[in-house]
Structure 1
Amino acid sequence: MAFKARLHNYFHTEYQPGERKLVRKIDFFILTFCCLSYFTNYLDRSNLNNAYVSGMKEELGFVGNQLTQIQSAFTAGYVVGQIPANLSLHFVRPRIFFPSCMIVWAGLTMVTASVHNPQSIAAIRFFQGIAEATTFVGTHYILGSWYTERELGKRSGIFTASGLAGTLIGGYIQSGIQTTLHQKHGLSGWRWLFIIDGLITIPVAIYGFIFFPDTPSRTQAFYLTESEKALAVSRVPPVEDRTPWSWRFFQRTVTSKFFWGFMILWIIAGETESFGTNALLSLYMKSHPAWKYTVVQLNNYPTGVPAVGIISTLFWATLTDFLNGKRYLVGYFIGITGIVTSALILAASHYDDPTVATPIVFGAYYWAGAVYACQATFFAWANDALRYEEHMFRAIVLAGMNLGSNVINAWWSIVFYGASMAPWFTRGMWAMIAVSIALVFWTGGLSYFTARHEKMRKEELGIESPPVKDNEDLA
């Protein structure tokens, strides 16, 4: 009956007077903006791969690994912008900072429609990476500032799923553009894709300027009453929020086990997403040894990968909330997924008839999309573990996670998943097996450390964990 009691508590959360209404308000105004922002963010990111297989490669004369190098240029800009972007949230209101960055990347996306060579795209994508640097970790910082531990996983999952939805829908948008706008006013379909994606982003930015509520302690949102603002502050643990511009802050950050523990976790976990982030299924189809796919098929078939990612993300985010924040379980699931899917593709590469191997490869890549669940759960895990630490320390740890992952990914993609390695990416499959094994071991060690630290901090602050009601309590 303990399971029944836990299920009841999960779906029947007890709120303070007025708290349920507050949560509904911040769900609407925070999640709508953050999800739409991340949706357009991933729409803008994935459009490069969609454009590549829709005629851009031939029109601009791509050779070798130039596509992968352009992706690395974006990653380099993303790395440069990580910590400065999150530190900026200490000085510039998120309501101003987030939408401003969106306007910049929307403009850069539309400018991409005018390029005439791959080198120009690389330069644009570098600055686009800087502009987009705060979207992911900045939003996780905001979510951790507003939501309690029992609420955070589901919201993080919804946010992450919105980015995957951008990847999924991007393929269908390119297919529609290819059939309706290709050569309209002399522009290729892939050029129209960049223009339309940029235009879609601007209204979302305007919405953010007006409605985004900043953080609980700084909010001036007109739709929140004074009592709701006070209640929002009381829902999160009171911590001292000191300036990050000090030697002590820097020293504490770079020597913290949290900083390195979660950074290395996301370095490893981030590389388990390589099959999706490097569009390997699209490149496999583009270089298929036996079949030639149409432009519509090249854009539509790979959308199964983010579709699986959305389902997996929402499932694991909800389940780990239900299991009282056991986010580490996702690490074990992803480790198994990475090993099995890589082994399937390696086995398929040795088939004499590549057409027989094709269903196995498609199935493996679709299953591999499930690893996207680690985005929501691991950043929620970091937010949970740092709930009793000062806000900017939490912000820097979150930024450090993404920074470390992207520093590695800037060269990892070129070494293991270069476009010229299609269709089998044999070297990358072995790399995936290695990082998947490493993830299992690192997850185990980090889960032990964070559980012990949380218990210690609660004892220091005199916080007692609420017991799960038994069946008699529910009668």
Structure 2
Amino acid sequence: MTFLSKTGDEKDVTLSIPEIPEDDPIFTEFEIPEDLKATLNASDVEFLNIKVETQPFYKWFSPTDTPAEKRLIIKLDLLILVYLFLSSFVKTLDSSAVTYAYVSGMKEDLKMFGNELTYQSSCYMAGFIVGQIPLTMLATVLPLNYYLPAMDIVWAVFTLFIFKITNYHQLYALRFCIGLLSSFFFPTVQYILGSWYKSSELTIRSAIYFVASQVGSMVCGYIQTGAYDHLDGKANLKGWQWLYVLAFIITVPISAYGVFTIPGLPEKLNMKVFLKEDEVKLARLRMIREKRKSNDKLTFPVVLQALKQWRFWMLVVFAIFFSQADGISSYSGLSLWLKASNYSVYQINTITTVIPAVTIFFSLLNGVLADSWKDSDPYIIAYVAVLNMLAGILLVIWHIGKGGIMFAFFLSGTADSIAAVLYSWANKICSGNSQERALTLSTMNTLGNTFAVWVPLFVWKTVDAPQYKKGYGYNIALDAMMLILLIPLTYLYRRQNRASVKEREDI
């Protein structure tokens, strides 16, 4: 195969790359697309045969990463992670804003004196559930560099409208639309990360993305405090209304940034401005070595086949329990307890930021552990479930003093810290088909959150706050079920890996 030909002063010099024989074992072990076969060379074969090692917890790269691969990883982090982090950050500003606004004047202005706070959350989740699977599957066929930013802008407009509402019925309608428009983002992000990063680097990236939501929740308290103190009354708007205006202003430039930086998928690039041809090829080879694809077509037989696999059902059932296990930290228990205990608005908005801070710390810790300790995903999920269960037990007891109650609420922040671990694990488990991955990831999040529409009406009633006895007991049961389900899920995953290794050895 001729790679380069040039004419010198005395003779022609031709540099060639040796052809890879069609019967080479590399074509049997790896599924290599036809367009790559024509350019495959000895260096590529050597790269595919590298046995990837996990990186030490104190390093960003694996010892087996080549110099070119390290440069590619850094570039991918800058192109993909930065936008995803910022986009997630502003979306959480909106989600967290409702709780902060509720205790900062919205409750009185919109006359939300009953279960309206719970109802608006259910409206949001209804839209979230309706849109998630179809919009996620749509993301696998549309240009991602236009699709994600465009949906961000539309979402931001509906968020902005909240500052003009005059009653909680309007809030219900807008929260449904906002839930619909943001529903696909989390599973789509997991799908994108799983299409670019190998197993030994996937979880920490997923954790960094997830941390953005916690940073948004944490910063929201400070922004609301600042808006309450400095913008209240400006332009005839209350302090809580300004938070929605600020969220819109922040979103617009972030969306514009995404249009130019999101490259799409390795085998279906939408934007090549920042990636060279050799880097694109390297990115594809990385995923071929992982046996993880991103170019499978969305067809009914593919969907039907995915529904027949244990992977789909085990992961979806597990996600049903996981998605509700953060109830202690999600249903405003701490902020409502602080308000009932006569803490000031400033203290409420500040103290409640400790929960997302705990989530941030444990998310990053768990991401590092998962990437540096091979096959550690089930162990990480298990220890976090135990910590969250302890928080529930303490709150069921309740009479443990203010310090004990506050500690239990803070400890509940660990619950969400395994989101990156679980969904990265799902990416690895479903590596064989990209559409199965997308369907599984979106269904996990959809059915997991379906219960959040109606369960809160029974176990997380606002009128029961802050001592949600039913809710805390329910949380304990959810963690117990997660621990039980981890046993068959881990067994099936390891059996699948053993079968894959045996198949390669037979070849």
Q: What is the TM-score of this pair, normalised by structure 2?
A: 0.85
- Give yes or no for contact 2:381–2:421 (8 Å, CA) kept in 1: no
Q: Does 1:339 align with 2:382?
A: no
Q: Are residues 1:250 and 2:303 paired?
A: yes
Inter-partner Cα distance in structure 2 for 1:303 and 1:9:
29
Do the aligned partners of 1:312 and 1:371 also contact (CA within 8 Å) in 2? no
Segment drifting more, 300-309 vs 260-269: 260-269
Deviation string 1:383-426 (CA, Å, 9 cap, x unpaired) is 11112x11111011000110011111111222211211101000
State the partner residue of 1:272: 325
1:173 matched to 2:223: yes
* Mapped contact 2:267–2:295 kept (Cα < 8 A): no
Q: CA deviation at 1:7?
A: 6.6
CA distance in 1, matches of 2:218, 2:99: 12
Cross-structure match for 1:152 = 202
Amino acid at match of 2:312: F
* Count, aligned residues: 450
Partner of 2:232: 182
Contact 1:150 1:325 in 2 (8 A): no
Report the CA distance between 1:6 and its aligned residue.
6.4
Q: 1:416 — aligned with what?
A: 459
AA aligned opposite 1:415 = F
Quote the residue 1:34 is aligned against: 84
Listed as ranges, the matches of 1:105-184 within 5 Å are 105-184=155-234
The answer on whether the counterparts of 2:221 and 2:350 sit within 8 Å (CA) in structure 1 is: yes
Note if 1:225 corresponds to 2:276: yes
- 2:482 counterpart of 1:439: yes
Per-residue deviation, 1:112: 0.4
State the AA in 1 paired with 2:283. A
2:441 to 398, 401, 408: 398
Amino acid at match of 1:261: M
- The offset of 1:14, in angstroms, is 1.9
Q: Residues 48 and 431 (structure 1 numbering): CA distance in 2 closer, same or farther, change over 3 Å?
A: same
The one-letter code of the counterpart of 1:432 is N
Cα distance between partner residues in 1 of 2:294 and 2:61: 33
State the Cα deviation string for residues 225-281 of structure 1 (Å, max 9, x = none): 1000111111003548443232x2232232221111111111111111112222221
Instruction: Name the CA shift for 1:309/1:111 in 2 (closer, same or farther; >3 Å).
Output: same
Provide the alpha-carbon RMSD of the alignment.
1.9
Question: Per-residue deviation at 1:79?
Answer: 0.6
2:303–2:436 Cα contact (<8 Å) kept: no
Structure 2 distance, partners of 1:179, 1:99, is 32
Determine whether 1:76 maps to 2:126.
yes
Question: Percent same amino acid among aligned pairs?
Answer: 28
Paired residue for 1:361?
Answer: 405
Gaps spanning 5+ residues in structure 1: where?
465-475
Give 1:325 deviation, angstroms. Answer: 3.4
Equivalent residue number for residue 260 of structure 1: 313
Structure 1 stretch displaced more, 67-76 or 235-244: 235-244
Task: Tell whether the 8 Å contact from 2:128 to 2:176 is kept in structure 1 after alignment.
Answer: yes
Aligned position for 1:470:
none
TM-score by length of 1: 0.91
C-alpha contact 2:388 2:414 (8 A) present in aligned 1? no
Distance 1:81 1:221 in 2: 30
Q: Distance in 1 between matches of 2:85 and 2:395?
A: 33
The change in CA–CA distance for 1:66 and 1:461 in structure 2 (over 3 A counts) is farther
Q: In the alignment, is the contact (CA less than 8 A) between 1:149 and 1:325 conserved in 2?
A: no
| Residue 248 of structure 2 corresponds to residue 235 of structure 1 | no
Residues 98, 134 of structure 1: 8 Å contact kept: no
TM-superposition CA deviations, 1:24-46 (whole Å, max 9, x none): 10011100001111111111111
Are the structure 2 counterparts of residues 330 and 7 from structure 1 closer, same or farther at C-alpha, using a change threshold of 3 Å? closer
CA–CA distance in structure 2, aligned partners of residues 265 and 197 of structure 1:
33
Q: Which one scores higher on RCO, CA 8 angstroms, separation ≥ 6?
A: 1
1:16 alignment partner in structure 2: 66
- Secondary structure of 1:104's partner? helix
Partner in structure 2 of residue 450 of structure 1: 493
- What residue identity is the alignment partner of 2:231? L
Measured in 2, the distance between the counterparts of 1:25 and 1:397 equals 28
Relative to structure 1, the CA distance from residue 394 to residue 21 in structure 2 (aligned partners, 3 Å threshold; closer, same or farther) is same
Distance 1:203 1:240, change over 3 A: closer
Q: What per-residue deviation string (whole Å, max 9, x for no partner) do you get for residues 333-371 of structure 1?
A: 1221222111111222xx3xxxx7221111001011011
Q: Which moved more, 1:140-149 or 1:252-261?
A: 252-261
Partner of 1:375: 419
1:91 Cα deviation from its structure 2 partner: 2.0
CA contact (8 A) 1:309 1:370 kept: yes
Residue 385, structure 1, aligned to residue 420, structure 2 = no
Which letter does structure 1 place at the counterpart of 2:463? Answer: S
Pick which of 139-148 and 4-13 moved more. Answer: 4-13
Structure-2 change in CA distance of 1:124 and 1:152 (3 Å): same
Distance in 2 separating the partners of 1:152 and 1:121: 37
- Give the whole-Å Cα distance in 1 for the aligned partners of 2:62 and 2:438: 31
Partners of 1:185 and 1:27 in 2: CA distance:
40
The letter for the 1-side match of 2:193 is L
Post-superposition offset of 1:462? 5.5
Radius of gyration: which is bigger?
2
Contact 2:123 2:176 in 1 (8 A): yes
Q: CA deviation at 1:12?
A: 4.9
Task: Tell me the residue number matched to 1:472.
Answer: none
Q: 1:186 to 1:318 in 2, by over 3 A?
A: same
Range moving further from structure 2, 333-342 or 390-399: 333-342
Task: Determine helix, strand or coil for the equivalent of 1:293.
Answer: coil
What is aligned with 1:57?
107
Structure 2 CA distance for partners of 1:8 and 1:27, relative to 1, 3 Å: closer
Structure 2 contact 219–353 (Cα < 8 Å) conserved: yes
